[in-house]
Structure 1
């Protein structure tokens, strides 16, 4: 299942949660198809400004950071380059749609592949 964890300043996030969840879910659906809507997980982590540092100092206006967990097998598909490009651009566009163009250049999207057999749901190892 696609799993997105978004770190963003709490002051930027407040009041935009529903809009951001919908936009990120739509970005996932645009790449994978409508079947992914019901299994896409979005977690929003709002941080106080003094708890986000860049370069050894508190960051003044950091762009959101997204960790996107997907199955590692997605990276070995023949269309892997298109999937990666679509997810990175779609997630970035979704973030920009909610927070504005000022964040685009710093939006960080990290795709993290989980190998089969290295995760579990409900106490059972997922093997596919």
Structure 2
């Protein structure tokens, strides 16, 4: 189950939730295919003003960041570099479609591979 987590300043996130959920889900589908849509889980986390900082000082604006959790086997595939590039581009496009192209150069996308043996669901280890 792919997990997409987006962090953004609360004031900038408010009211954009439905469009973001759709855009982030569509980003996964553009890379993996329509079969993945039902399993995409999106979490939108709004950070209150004063709790996002850079260089030791709180910031008034910040580009959203996206973390995509998936099985680590993706990174071992022959086409891993292409998949990574497509995911980074798709998530960046999704964020800028909702927040505007002005934040494009600062959108951080982190792809996190999780070994199945270190994940659990319903109290049981997967894999």
What interval of TM-score do these two structures reach, taking the shorter chain for normalisation? over 0.9
Give CA deviations for 1:85-111 in whole Å, capped at 9, x if unaligned. 011000000000000011111100000
Report the counterpart of residue 115 of structure 1 in structure 2: 115
Structure 2, unpaired ranges of 5+: none
Q: Tell me the TM-score normalised to structure 2 length.
A: 0.97
Q: Tell me the TM-score normalised to structure 1 length.
A: 0.97
Q: Which runs of 4+ in 1 moved over 2 A?
A: none
Paired residues, what number? 127
Structure 1, unpaired ranges of 5+: none
Report the counterpart of residue 41 of structure 1 in structure 2: 41
CA distance in 2, matches of 1:2, 1:82: 18
CA RMSD, 1 decimal: 0.7
CA distance in 2, matches of 1:23, 1:81: 23
CA distance in 1, matches of 2:124, 2:9: 35
